[in-house]
Structure 1
Amino acid sequence: MAFDARDKEISVDDFVRYVDTGTMGKVLEIKTEDEVDWVLIDKTNLWYKAKLVEILDEKDIKIKITPSGREVDIEELKEKADKLENMQMDSSVAEGGG
């Protein structure tokens, strides 16, 4: 049995988020080595210490699959759009050398 950062039991097919980087994905496998629990996340195909991930509730999952089968992080797209909207154009930033 593996437990997440909040001491909730992790199962295969649970959606989790790596707390250090925010990487989200589905748990493909769980293993224990040297008394440390590890989970394999599908998005990166990397193993993460179980105590460094947190199980996501369905309402927290912000990844959507497009019709082409591509994953899209909705919150990331919103943040990028906000940054572009808040960018100001200024003609005095750079001058030509001529």
Structure 2
Amino acid sequence: VRELARQAPEQAPRLRAAGVFVTPDLGDTILADPDLAPLARLRDGVRSPEALRRVVEVNLARGADTVKTRVNERAGLPEQDPLAQVY
């Protein structure tokens, strides 16, 4: 779809590819790309600058235009504080 948008912008929606969501606990997202597999061994999840950099590098290598991340936990669940920062 992105290539169609580049070749015929009047016929396609505007979009930006983002790859996997950059979050401390990748969970099943690790299955999305074999290059993320080494991150599964991290005890504290994706928190170090090196681990964050690796997720971004994998996304960019796959053609991402944008990096998706968050500043707090997923909102809407009673056990999560929407004001607690993740990074």
The answer, yes or no, to whether TM exceeds 0.5 is no
Identify the structure with the greater helix proportion. Answer: 2
TM-score after normalising by structure 1: 0.21
Identify the structure with the greater strand proportion. Answer: 1
Greater relative CO (CA pairs within 8 A, separation 6+): 2
TM-score after normalising by structure 2: 0.23
